Amino acid sequence: MPKEPTDRDTLLDFELPKFKKPEFPSGGGRIVRLVLLAIILLPLLRGIFFTIDPEEVGIILRLGEYRGREHDAGPGLHFKIPFIDRVYKIPVERQLKEEFGFRTAEVGVRSRFVDETLEANMLTGDENAVLVEWVVQYRIEDAYQFLFRVRNLQATFRDMSEAVMRQVVGDRTVNEVVTVGRVEIENEVEERLQELCDQYETGIQVEQVVLQSNNPPDPVKPSFNEVNKAKQDRDRLINEAQAQYNQVIPRAEGQARQTVQQAEGYALDRVNRAEGDAARFSALYAEYRKAPDVTRTRIYLETMGNVLSSAGRKIVIDDDAEGLVPLLNLEAGAAVAATRRGEGGDQ
């Protein structure tokens, strides 16, 4: 009696369909193989060659070990061993910057900034609060030190910058920080920060520290502005007084010098005249002693000449004349005046 087939036998007797080998058009298989080969080799080639930009330098590690400065890659196309060499591109010719107290959210014609109040809050030496925003511009001078000497260098550099700024601001008054001491603060922070970078071998060259905005906190800003206005008024009044002083004092000193010079000139003139008169008198006295009568007559004539030269009408009377009758001036004005005096006397 024939045995009925089981499910297992049915499965064993099942024949798989036969798949035909894909057929490509003439030459198509070669193209596909080339495409597949390119897809496989492209990532490998990208791992073999690398490019360094003109402002960069490539630090090459082989199996995690630094190969030395002589193996650093300069600008251009270079070769590396895949999975063995690792390249770090360091922008040594690019000026970098770190912002403190704010962040540039968008750069453009209208740049947008984000405040970082906690970072900007500082205490001055006279125990006043102030908000300080600044930028540190720097370059990477030593790529090896920048990459390997300090762990998490960017955070460390920011911490150093903030610590130095707080120390410098804490040594000054709020007026120096906000107004007159900005340049001095920038220079001192730059110098101290560079000393720290050299001490820790960060490979960073600090180029410039720029204070962006130094303002008191908003709650005390009105009072601070009033104080500044009062100081400005004081300085204005002092300048006006100084200008008036500079105008009046030199004029008074000039007048004083002129008066002194006039007095000295007058004194010299009087002395010279007195000395001349004395010399003249001495000479005259010597001549007088030689001929007293002649000298006396000459002096008399000179004196009378000086006296009579200022007189208007002169009447000469001989001493020997007798019976001289006084002559009344009968001119119109004189006659009227004499008549009025006579009438007044009769009354």
Q: CATH number of the domain at 115, please.
A: 3.30.479.30
Q: What is the pLDDT of residue 208?
A: 93
Query: What angle do helix axes 153-170 and 182-199 make, rounded to 10 degrees?
Result: 140
Give the structural domain span for 58: 32-91
- How many domains does the chain divide into? 2
**Averaged pLDDT, 193-209:** 94
175 and 150 inside one domain: yes
At residue 50, the pLDDT reads 81
Task: Kindly state whether residue 278 falls inside one of the protein's structural domains.
Answer: no
Are 157 and 151 a contacting pair, CB within 8 Å?
no
Q: What is the pLDDT of residue 134?
A: 92
Weakest mean pLDDT among 38-42, 78-82, 95-99, 114-118: 114-118
- Asked if 91 and 140 touch (Cβ cutoff 8 Å), the reply is yes
Q: Is residue 268 assigned to a domain? A: no
d(C-alpha 115, C-alpha 133), whole Å: 9
With beta carbons less than 8 A apart as the criterion, state whether 37 and 21 touch: no
Instruction: Determine which of 97-111, 215-229, 255-269, 294-308 has the lowest per-residue pLDDT on average.
Output: 97-111
Query: Quick check: is 44 in a domain?
Result: yes
Shared domain check, 101 and 80: no
> Is residue 244 situated within a structural domain?
no
Interval 258-291: pLDDT, tens: 999 999 999 999 999 898 888 888 887 787 787 7
* Dist. CA 341–CA 225, nearest whole Å: 89
Task: Give yes or no for a contact between 179 and 100, defined as CB atoms under 8 angstroms apart.
Answer: no
Answer yes or no: do 112 and 130 share one domain.
yes
Is 168 within a domain?
Answer: yes
Q: For residue 48, is it within any domain?
A: yes
**182 and 136 Cβ atoms separated by less than 8 Å:** no
Q: Which of 216, 243, 277 is the last residue of a domain?
A: 216
121 and 137 both lie in a single domain: yes
Three-state DSSP state, 2:
coil
What's the whole-number mean pLDDT along residues 49-59? 86
Q: How many other β-carbons are positioned within 10 Å of the β-carbon of residue 157?
A: 23
Q: Read off the pLDDT of each residue in 97-124 and give the average, rounded to a whole number.
A: 73
Statement: residue 332 has pLDDT above 90: no
Instruction: For the chain, give the mean pLDDT.
Output: 79
Give the per-residue pLDDT at 25: 52
- Is residue 132 situated within a structural domain? yes
151 and 128 inside one domain:
yes
Residue 186 clears pLDDT 90, i.e. is over it: yes
Same domain membership, residue 104 and residue 74? no
> In the predicted model, is pLDDT for residue 306 greater than 60?
yes
Are 201 and 138 in a shared domain?
yes
Lowest mean pLDDT among 169-183, 194-208, 244-258, 277-291: 277-291
pLDDT beyond 60 at 149? yes
CB 142 within 8 A of CB 203: yes
Q: Note the pLDDT tens digit of each residue in 250-259.
A: 888 889 999 9
The strand ranges marked E within the chain are 49-52, 57-62, 65-66, 76-79, 85-90, 96-100, 102-106, 112-115, 121-123, 129-140, 204-215
- The larger pLDDT score, comparing residue 110 to residue 211, is at 211
Same domain for 111 and 141, yes or no, is yes
Q: Residue 269 falls within a domain, yes or no?
A: no
Asked if 102 and 71 sit in the same domain, the reply is no
Domain boundary among 216, 240, 261: 216
Count other C-beta atoms under 10 Å from residue 322's C-beta: 5
Same domain, 207 and 102: yes
Beta-bridged to residue 250, according to DSSP, are none
DSSP readout, 8-24? Answer: HHHHHTPPPPPPPPP--
Q: Which helix (H) or strand (E) holds 247?
A: helix 221-290
Mark whether 128 and 71 lie in a shared domain: no
Domain stops at, among 173, 192, 216 = 216
**Is 78 in the same domain as 130?**
no
pLDDT for the residue numbered 347? 42
